Chain A
């Protein structure tokens, strides 16, 4: 049987390994900066394309007073998509990472298309129509 001392040792070793692994993964991960923007026009949010840096920043979390929750804007090639970071389970805010979107409250996860990967959420994330105008990504909220 495992002794208490042995259990603590294994637990600490596992913890250190997890921390080391996380640090390693973090160094490999693509950053996902947050951008606070003021709405220029009711019902739409504009994000400058200069915020997307090829090979480094392909996604930005956008925060605006026009929207109750943050919006994840992702660039794929020359197209942009906007995902509403509100969980479709109970309406909690979501945590976006470089390759997934998570609900810290009840464990749901979504892919970067907004599709449900893990319950309890059953429906995909809301998306907003986007348009590229004068080097600005326009997100239409309605």
Chain B
């Protein structure tokens, strides 16, 4: 009886705390500054500020071969930043993908297919006006889309496939990064970052290293990832080269030893290199990228996890876009027609205990348009033709109807809307 009374009092106290917190937050929210006064608006004298912003996108996709379709609120991201003073700021991004995360017995009555994650949460320390350090969960500069992934900034309803399947965007890890500009070479930027490494238990033959990202989750092992980039802006060109090397054994040494995996900071290292170039002028945009990934000791990884991990993957793409409204609106409003060709080989080399699968050799032909009635809003439509090699029947472990038929040549009609504010 006594415990029930205490419990009731506790509940009342909690309720009061929540109510007062709500009042406090309401008052505090009145201090959230407008865009003009915000973190992003050039505060010289008023040092502290908090800013809210975000982006999101919804997709509708028709698979013309399978005669099926999918509608999804692909992602909604809420950005919250706070500037403590001129030297230190906080950047966070909370992401909800596919709208709903819920257990089967939850209020919504359906099991959610979505996920909630922190896409970024780091402190930024300014060393001087062009050099800074970040520490926390952040996105290293690898490839183009990884850092520049806002849906209103790229053509196509989906992100370029190469930059999801070979460069596993959005690839964020916990660590520390240094960013800056070379003072004697105007336009030349650099970055150097040290993060936790990948987890080879998540590698596999169809998604490469994507499943090995640790994404800020508690990870075991001493493995590290080192990445660096050079980014050069000159005239209307953006040129970048970046690389990554990192250990892939995210296990305690005793466990790694029992699985016969090399451990330590760079045990069974994954190396990734990429170069990309972009030209943009008078409504014309051309973008190209080439990348290659190598997984050392992929045979040992396959033996430990039976994952059919590849040893080498590579690919590239080229995209050309033209804003047909450019001469009239100079980018204030745009209608961009674009075409992109992508080539990916997720199993360019497989270890001796791997099973080859020509379906991992893919080509994508993408054509579409992006309409931007104002900056911050995109309405997109595209058609994607995916052509692959033959699917290896030896990899089919479940019979029809669980194993859906595989089409070497598939077509997709995609529609999407996106915002950024």
Contacts and interface: CB of A to CB of B under 8 A. Distances in A.
Contacts of A29: 234-235
Interface in B30-63: 35, 39-45, 53, 55
A25 B343 contact: no
B43 to A, nearest CB: 8
B275 interface: yes
A109 B132 CA distance: 20
A102 B238 contact: yes
B288 A14 contact: yes
Contact of A98 (B43, B45, B153, B235): B235
B148 interface: yes
Nearest to A125: B42
A4 B83 CA distance: 48
B333 interface: no
Which has the most chain A C-beta neighbours within 10 Å: B132, B148, B235?
Answer: B235
A11 interface: yes
B312 interface: yes
A91 B236 CA distance: 23
Nearest to A67: B44
Contact of A104 (B40, B231, B292): B231
A89 B95 CA distance: 18
A31 B186 contact: yes
A69 B290 contact: no
A67 B86 CA distance: 10
B375 to A, nearest CB: 5
Given A95-B189, A141-B44, A119 B375 contact: yes
Interface string B159-187: 00000000000000000000101010011
A120 B91 CA distance: 16
Interface in B219-247: 231-239, 241
Contact of A122 (B126, B277, B316, B376): B376
B186 A100 contact: no
Contacts of A21: 237
Nearest to B130: A93
Interface string B8-50: 0000000000000000000000000001000111111100000
B42 A104 contact: no
Interface string B282-323: 000000101010000000000000000000101010000000
Given A14-B290, A89-B40, A122-B420, A102 B233 contact: yes
Interface in A92-109: 93, 95-100, 102, 104-107, 109
Interface string A58-98: 00010100111110000000000000111111110101111
Contact of B150 (A95, A97, A117, A120): A120
A117 to B, nearest CB: 6
A123 B153 contact: no
Given A91-B39, A119-B376, 20 more contacts: A4-B348, A7-B290, A7-B314, A14-B290, A18-B239, A22-B239, A25-B234, A34-B186, A63-B129, A68-B126, A85-B129, A86-B40, A87-B40, A88-B41, A90-B79, A90-B91, A107-B148, A120-B55, A123-B35, A142-B44
Interface of B: 35, 39-45, 53, 55, 79, 81, 83, 86, 89, 91, 126, 128-130, 132, 147-148, 150, 152-153, 179, 181, 183, 186-187, 189, 231-239, 241, 275, 277, 280, 288, 290, 292, 312, 314, 316, 331, 343, 345, 348-349, 361, 375-376, 389, 420-421
6 contacts: A67-B44, A85-B129, A86-B40, A88-B40, A88-B41, A119-B420
Interface of A: 1-2, 4, 7-8, 10-11, 14-15, 18, 21-22, 25-26, 28-29, 31-34, 61, 63, 66-70, 84-91, 93, 95-100, 102, 104-107, 109, 116-120, 122-123, 126, 141-142
